[in-house]
């Protein structure tokens, strides 16, 4: 038993050290704090139950055989059934319900005196489309990365373009299913500015694991400035500005543009919007870190890096073309 206690203690201590982009044990918003509190309560309770069961199990080995009448046996059995089989589950599940209902309610889009910011997220196999309908001067669209104001509630309207996905930002709370043909809403709030990881939490095909995103929570003023900066015309200006890449732009317009949108050049919504791809942290929704030359590498190897992704292979293009396409796309930052 001492061995078991030591093991449990070590495990618990080990868990308190869990941190990182995707750790629910490192909450950065009230909804996530509520969830993690319930998690700790459940872990503690389950540990107590486990210790009790193990103790009883060991006791049965040591117990001396006692002569009992059938009535006495039945009485003891009834005690265990009522206590351990009915009373304990009813009490513990009721306690969890009392904790759980307000936590769930916090993430519901209940009416507020000031309507919260709305961000739309659409799940695709295997990437995220993000839309900001509230932007002044027209909707702003990005992919695989989203920015939100910190210190205020944000309503995420989520849906799917193909199969069922699940929208999850573990450090802010959640998660919620993204269903084709239906919009679900989850309200989340980040306490303070920071960068958080997001992950698809519903198996959605072979590249489900490579369906990540990043969330950047920033001060309200910074958020408004960012939205203004991402207006179509501004991005388009930048996309068309650099004459060194005229050829890459032509190549893009004649091939990539049938699926991808770049402000000022094309408006297809089949693949991720690339108007600001140079500003992303990763490529392929978390498959590859973004760095110099990464887009070129991705264009040549994406079917090996993320097999079955919907982008056709580019083997028919020569390296120089892919290289200049990659270099140009890297310049697309606001
Ligand atoms: Cu999308 Cu799993």
Q: Is 286 in the pocket of ligand 1 (CB under 6 A)?
A: no
Q: Is 122 in the pocket of ligand 1 (CB under 6 A)?
A: no
Q: Parallel, antiparallel, or unpaired: how do β-strands 173-178 and 288-289 relate? A: unpaired
Residue closest by Cα to atom 1 of ligand 1: 165
Residue 8 is predicted with a pLDDT of: 65
Residue 193 is predicted with a pLDDT of: 96
Residue 118 is predicted with a pLDDT of: 94
Residue 189 is predicted with a pLDDT of: 93
Residue 218 is predicted with a pLDDT of: 96
Cα of 81 from ligand 1 centre, angstroms: 42
Cα of 210 from ligand 1 centre, angstroms: 8
pTM comes to: 0.83
Q: Is 158 in the pocket of ligand 1 (CB under 6 A)?
A: no
**In tens digits, what is the pLDDT along the chain, a chain of 334 residues?**
566 666 666 666 565 556 678 888 889 998 899 889 889 988 998 999 899 999 989 988 887 777 788 888 889 889 989 998 899 899 988 988 888 888 888 888 888 888 899 999 999 999 999 999 877 777 788 899 999 999 999 999 999 999 999 999 999 987 999 999 999 999 999 999 999 999 999 999 999 999 999 999 999 999 998 888 887 767 777 777 777 778 888 888 888 888 888 887 778 888 898 888 888 888 888 888 888 888 888 888 888 888 888 888 877 888 888 888 888 888 888 7
Cα of 70 from ligand 1 centre, angstroms: 57
What is the SS3 assignment for 263? coil
What is the SS3 assignment for 118? strand
Residue 46: which residues within 8 A CB-CB, separation 6 or more?
none
Side-chain-side CA neighbours of residue 84 (13 Å): 11
Domains in the chain with CATH codes = 1-63+107-218 (2.60.40.420), 232-330 (2.60.40.420)
Residue 60 is predicted with a pLDDT of: 83
CB atoms within 10 A of CB 313: 12
DSSP 187-198: EE--SSSEEEEE
Cα of 200 from ligand 1 centre, angstroms: 4
Q: Is 123 in the pocket of ligand 1 (CB under 6 A)?
A: yes
């Amino acid at each position: 038993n001492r061995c078991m206690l030591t093991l449990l203690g070590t495990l618990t201590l080990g868990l308190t050290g869990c941190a990182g982009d995707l750790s629910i044990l490192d909450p950065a918003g009230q909804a996530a704090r509520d969830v993690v509190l319930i998690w700790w309560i459940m872990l503690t309770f389950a540990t107590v139950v486990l210790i009790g069961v193990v103790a009883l199990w060991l006791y049965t080995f040591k117990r001396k055989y006692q002569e009992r009448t059938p009535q006495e046996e039945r009485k003891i059995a009834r005690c265990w059934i009522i206590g351990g089989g009915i009373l304990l589950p009813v009490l513990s599940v009721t306690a969890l319900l009392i904790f759980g209902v307000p936590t769930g309610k916090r993430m519901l889009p209940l009416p507020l005196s000031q309507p919260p910011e709305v961000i739309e997220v659409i799940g695709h196999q295997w990437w995220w489309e993000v839309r900001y309908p509230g932007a002044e001067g027209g909707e702003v669209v990005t992919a695989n990365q989203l920015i939100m104001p910190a210190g205020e509630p944000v309503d995420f309207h989520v849906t799917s373009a193909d199969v069922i996905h699940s929208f999850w930002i573990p450090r802010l709370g959640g998660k919620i299913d993204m269903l084709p043909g239906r919009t679900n809403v989850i309200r989340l709030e980040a306490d303070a500015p920071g960068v958080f990881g997001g992950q698809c939490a519903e198996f959605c095909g072979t590249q489900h694991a490579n369906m990540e995103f990043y969330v950047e929570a920033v001060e309200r003023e910074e958020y408004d400035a960012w939205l203004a900066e991402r207006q179509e015309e501004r991005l388009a200006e930048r996309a068309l500005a650099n004459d060194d890449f005229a050829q890459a732009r032509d190549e893009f317009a004649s091939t990539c543009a049938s699926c991808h949108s770049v402000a000022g050049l094309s408006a297809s919504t089949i693949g991720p919007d690339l108007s600001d791809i140079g500003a992303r942290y990763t490529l392929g929704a978390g498959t590859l870190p973004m760095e110099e030359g990464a887009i070129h590498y991705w264009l040549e190897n994406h079917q090996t890096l993320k097999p079955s992704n919907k982008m056709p292979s580019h083997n028919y293009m020569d390296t120089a073309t892919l290289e200049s396409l990659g270099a140009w796309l890297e310049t697309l930052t606001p």
